[in-house]
Amino acid sequence: MRTDLFDFELPAERIALRPANPRDAARLLVVAPGQKPDIAPELSDRTLRDLPDLLRAGDVLVVNDTKVIPARLNGRRIGRGEAEPAIEATLIKRLDGSHWRAFVRPAKRLEVGDIVRFGDEGKVCFLGQLDAQVSAKDEGGEVTLSFSFHGPVLDQAIEERGDMPLPPYIASKREPDEQDKADYQTAFAKIEGSVAAPTAGLHFTPELTERLMRKGVNVRSVTLHVGAGTFLPVKADDTANHIMHAEWGEVPPGVAETLNITRKNGGRIVAVGSTALRLLESAADENGTIKPFSGETDIFITPGYRFRAVDLMMTNFHLPKSTLFMLVSAFSGLETMRRAYAHAIADGYRFYSYGDACLLYPQSSFRDGM
């Protein structure tokens, strides 16, 4: 499909720079596609606190328990003359105990073999600096960093020195701060490995989760470590020419069994976010049975995809021409989502990672009696 079909104009003031406080005070747009493409979708303006009333006993909410690491590091190149140019590195993929792939700026300042020093002070062991050598570099400015520390010691050093890797549309307007270390982490975060938050999960509070469980809605966790490529706009003119970044995920056997039993008993699987949805679809067979899964997925969902594992989806409002807007357009229909986004823009909804959310019904919901 042509990429420009997924473009839209968003006023700058609609981009949220801070999350709602409390988190479950965010708005929730319920989107139910019409029975035919030419019939306008049913739109309902609610809040996240209404979610227990919108779901049914026996449904299962599937959340992503990945934890964001403070992956943005600021340092300087050392050891090549007197000049020590500033270098910003955003870690994007762990390769092993001491190696990370990273985006660096300015990439032209670094060559293979260069040393980058991040920070002058620290609590790790008795060493003051965190050094990394550039062991590989590609033409796009992506590098492999070989750190001087390894394993848990390296993780602690990154934790001390790193900032939350806020998306560019936030980071370009303000610097990350200590508040972001809490704000840009979901209430379900447990397993470290993401360099971007699964943002639909940012809306949940312990109180909201407890209300859902009292309603009879189960909450189950899967893990997908979100990479930086997830939120990048598609630059190809046709979606068929876009290459997705692979991300590691896991659906534990017990969770797969619970979800299959839920479906068998008439309950619905509700994916919280595109990350949970993509992982469940990767784990499902042609009949919709969800299998235990552990490994990388690069699934790219565009209109025409047949969903097998997910019945409802909760997600934030996404960037134009992004793989995420393409995914929700596949789920609820492109025209439905264009109308829903136009309503959200006109009605003052807040967009992107710290913004509001929507609860999406699939295109087939009327036919399936959902």
Whether the link from the prior residue into 52 is cis, omega within 30° of 0, is no
pLDDT at 364: 67
Identify the structural domains of the chain with CATH numbers, from first to last. 3-68+182-368 (3.40.1780.10), 72-162 (2.40.10.240)
Q: Is the pLDDT of residue 23 over 60?
A: yes
Distance CA 149, CA 129 (A): 10
Q: Which two tokens stand for residue 263?
A: 């479906």
pLDDT of amino acid 122:
46
Q: Is the pLDDT assigned to residue 358 strictly greater than 60?
A: yes
Backbone angles phi and psi of 95, in degrees to 5: -95, -40
With cut-offs at 50, 70 and 90, classify the pLDDT of residue 231. Answer: low
Provide mean pLDDT across the span 22-47: 86
Note the pLDDT tens digit of each residue in 129-167.
Answer: 799 999 999 877 799 999 999 999 999 999 888 999 888
C-beta separation of 73 from 176 below 8 A: no
pLDDT value for 367:
39
- Give the model's pLDDT for residue 268: 98
Q: How confident is the model at residue 304 (pLDDT cuts 50, 70, 90)?
A: very high
Quote the pLDDT of residue 228.
Answer: 75
- The whole-number pLDDT of residue 120 equals 61
CA–CA gap between residue 194 and residue 107 (Å, rounded): 23
pTM: 0.90
- Mean per-residue pLDDT over the chain, rounded: 91
pLDDT score, position 369? 42
**For residue 201, is it left (φ>0), alpha (ψ between -120 and 50) or beta?**
alpha
What is the band of 340 on the pLDDT scale with cuts at 50, 70, 90? very high
- C-alpha to C-alpha distance for 358 and 370, rounded to whole angstroms: 17
User: What is the per-residue pLDDT for 38?
Assistant: 59
Give pLDDT tens digits for 82-126: 789 999 999 988 899 999 999 999 999 999 999 999 976 544 444
